[in-house]
Structure 1
Amino acid sequence: MQHRARPGAPPTSRFPAAARRAGARPAALWPLALGGVLAVSVVLALTIGPADISPLQVARSAAERVTGAGTSPAGGDAAALSSVQEAILWQLRLPRLLTAAFVGAGLALSGAVMQALTRNPLADPYLLGLSSGASLGAVSVLLLGAAVVLPLAAFAGAMAALVLTLSLAAAAGSISPSRTVLAGLAVSSAASALTSFIIFFSAKGDSYREVLNWLLGSLAGSTWASVAITAVAFLLAGIPILLTGGLLDGFSFGDNAAGALGLNVPVLRWVLLAGTAVLTGAMVSVSGSIGFVGLILPHAVRLLTGARHRVLLPAVALAGAVFLVWADTLARTVFEPREIPVGIVTALIGAPVFAVLLWRRKARS
Structure 2
Amino acid sequence: MSRYPDRTLAATLALVLATATACGTEEAGARLELSAALPDQVPSGATLRLGDPQIQAIVGVSGLDKELADAGITVEWANISGGPQSIQAFRADKLDCSAVADIPSLFAAWTGTSTKIVFQSVTVDPLDHPIYKLGVAPGVNVTSLADLRGKRIAYSAGQAQGALVLRVLQKAGLSQKDVQLVELTSTGDSYVTALGAKAVDVAPISAQYQKLFEAKYPGARTIGTGVRDDASTLYCLTSAVEDEKKAAALKVYVAVRTKAWLWANKHPAEYAKAYFQDTQGLSEADAKAVVEIQGDKGIPATWDNAVKRLQATADLLSTEQKHDKLDVTTLIDRRFEKVQADAAGSDVVTGDAA
Q: Same fold judged by TM-score > 0.5?
A: no
Larger Rg: 1
Instruction: Give TM-score, length-normalised by structure 1.
Output: 0.23
The structure whose residues are more often strand, as a share, is 2
